[in-house]
Amino acid sequence: MKHIIIRNKNNGLTIHEGYYNSDKDCIEDAVAQNIDLSHADLSYKNLSCANIDTAQLFCADLRHCNLSNANISESHLDNANMEDTNLVGACLAETSLKNASMINASFGATDMTYATIDACKFNTLSALHLDFSTVKSMQGCAFYTIEKDIHVFSAPPITISGLPQGNIYIIDNKALLGHTRFIEIAQNEWSQQALLLSILQKQNSKI
């Protein structure tokens, strides 16, 4: 066992400490004791498969953290920095993630059922495959492309797969081919039929 300390990212003060086999064991014990981990520095920690539901992680630093297959349901991660975080298989059901930054985060089978993700920031294509239809609220989310465009959306993106040139992602009234602007749909065309016709016409012109 080793002495592990969880510190406040702003002032370095100790939030929780003890002797544990791993960082996972340490944070699980802290959450079990209802210790408030707001502003905690958990960057670069391996917390894969951690069971930390109901965790208080407001403004926590989770950059480069491995949270794959972790249970973080019913937790508070508002304003958390989750950039470059591995969230593959993670459960974030009923978790509040308002204004969390998930730039360069990895997703896959990530459960966000009834989560609140208002003003969250994304830039990976795997994020666009999340099941946004199950979230509680997603007002003012933003997707950043590699071309430095910012696409704000408050409704689930639509993914069209199986096309020769790759997947098309519909974010509000814009369509992206990967990270590249593909076509912009006028607001008065915003119907399923007009949308699909616009995409097919654009796609046919590329073939």
Domain CATH for 148: 2.160.20.80
Question: What is the per-residue pLDDT for 196?
Answer: 60
Residue where a domain terminates, one of 111, 133, 155? 155
Question: What is the per-residue pLDDT for 99?
Answer: 98
Please check whether residues 199 and 107 belong to one and the same domain: no
Question: What is the per-residue pLDDT for 161?
Answer: 83
Please check whether residues 17 and 52 belong to one and the same domain: yes
In whole angstroms, what is the distance from residue 120 CA to residue 167 CA? Answer: 22
- 20-38 burial string, b = 16+ CB within 10 Å, else e? bebbbebbbebbeeebebb
- Dihedral sign, Cα of residue 17, residue 96, residue 115, residue 156: negative
Going by DSSP bridges, is the β-strand pair 174-177/168-171 parallel, antiparallel, or unpaired? antiparallel
Please check whether residues 164 and 147 belong to one and the same domain: no
Taking alpha carbons only, the member of 149, 24, 188 closest to residue 169 is 149
Residue where a domain terminates, one of 155, 172, 193? 155
Question: What is the per-residue pLDDT for 178?
Answer: 79
Please check whether residues 59 and 126 belong to one and the same domain: yes
Residues of the chain with pLDDT under 70: 181-207
Question: What is the per-residue pLDDT for 24?
Answer: 98
Please check whether residues 101 and 16 belong to one and the same domain: yes
CB 44 within 8 A of CB 24: no
Residue where a domain terminates, one of 116, 139, 155? 155
Cα separations in angstroms, 124 against 29, 44, 67, 87: 32, 19, 17, 12
Please check whether residues 72 and 162 belong to one and the same domain: no
Per the structure, the count of domains in the chain is 2
Please check whether residues 131 and 183 belong to one and the same domain: no
Q: Could you list the residue range(s) of the whole structural domain that residue 204 is in? A: 157-207
Please check whether residues 76 and 129 belong to one and the same domain: yes
Please check whether residues 108 and 202 belong to one and the same domain: no
Question: What is the per-residue pLDDT for 183?
Answer: 58
In whole angstroms, what is the distance from residue 39 CA to residue 148 CA? Answer: 29
* pTM greater than 0.85: yes
Q: How does DSSP classify residue 200?
A: H
Please check whether residues 150 and 161 belong to one and the same domain: no
In whole angstroms, what is the distance from residue 99 CA to residue 141 CA? Answer: 8
Please check whether residues 81 and 170 belong to one and the same domain: no
Please check whether residues 48 and 132 belong to one and the same domain: yes
